[in-house]
Each structure stands twice: as structure tokens, then as C-alpha cells.
Amino acid sequence: MSIVIKAISAGDTLPLRHKILWPGYPVEHSMLDGDETAMHFGGFLEEKLICVASLFRDGQAVRLRKFATDANFQGLGFGSLMLQHLLKVAQDLDAEVFWFDARETAVPFYKRLGFSIDGNRFFKGAIPYFRMSQSLTQKP
């Protein structure tokens, strides 16, 4: 099985964002300030949207937000493929750092892909998070 990753609209991300990340809240909770100017990506498996992610540019940094994979497709490598694609997009933008706030439960996944924790645990509501990042600059 191969995933096809392509640009999508912010509105196209909302159903999956909401279903996976914040199902107990109104769908508006999954909307972000800046969605209208961010880059949004969808991972499709045989025309079915199974993974979404959004990138926000801030100077030399690119921030990943609202990264979600359909629960029926988690643990199969599709999220890793999406993340590799997003890192390439950030590199093509000449970004120096790629960062995000990761739910504590997802930290092992991100560590396997080369991301490091920056700082201490913090909470968004009752959910524990860590800020994580990866440098995109080559060391001489």
C-alpha cells in the first residue's frame, strides 16, 4: 500500500483533525488562526484521506500543527511517510528548524524519527505535551 501526499485546503483537514485530535469538542476547536495562509497536506490511500497535517512558516522556522492519522491506519508507517514529506517541504523552503508541540503519548514516535525534546512537559487542558524539534541545517 502506498500513500499519495498532496496539498489540500484547510477545510479539507477539519473532519480528520476533529475526529482524531479533539473529538469531544466542537469542530471549531480544531480550527487555527493562520489556517488560511498555512500549507495543508493530505495523505491518501486509494482516494481515502487517512492523514492530515499543516505547516506554518515563521521566519526560518516551520511549525507542524494538527498532525492526525485515522485510527484505522495508525502504526502502519503512513504518519512516518507524511512526516518525511513535510520535512522535505520545510527544507525546500530553506527553513532552519522544524518544530511542534507533541502529545506526550506520541513522543516515542517522534524520537524514532530524529526529533528532540526542547524543555519541560506542559499541558493543554489535561493533555501533557512536549515541544520537539529538529534542525534542518547541515553541519560542516
Domains and CATH numbers, the chain: 4-99 (3.40.630.30)
Q: What's the pLDDT at 140? A: 43
Q: What's the pLDDT at 13? A: 95
Q: How many CB atoms lie within 10 A of CB 22?
A: 17
Query: Which 8-state DSSP code applies to residue 120?
Result: -
Listed residue (106, 105, 60, 104) closest to 83, CA to CA: 106
Q: What's the pLDDT at 41? A: 98
| Mean per-residue pLDDT pooled into runs of 10, the chain (140 residues) | 92 94 86 93 95 96 96 93 96 96 95 95 94 82
Element (H, E) at 66: strand 61-69
Whose cell is 528532540? That residue is: 116
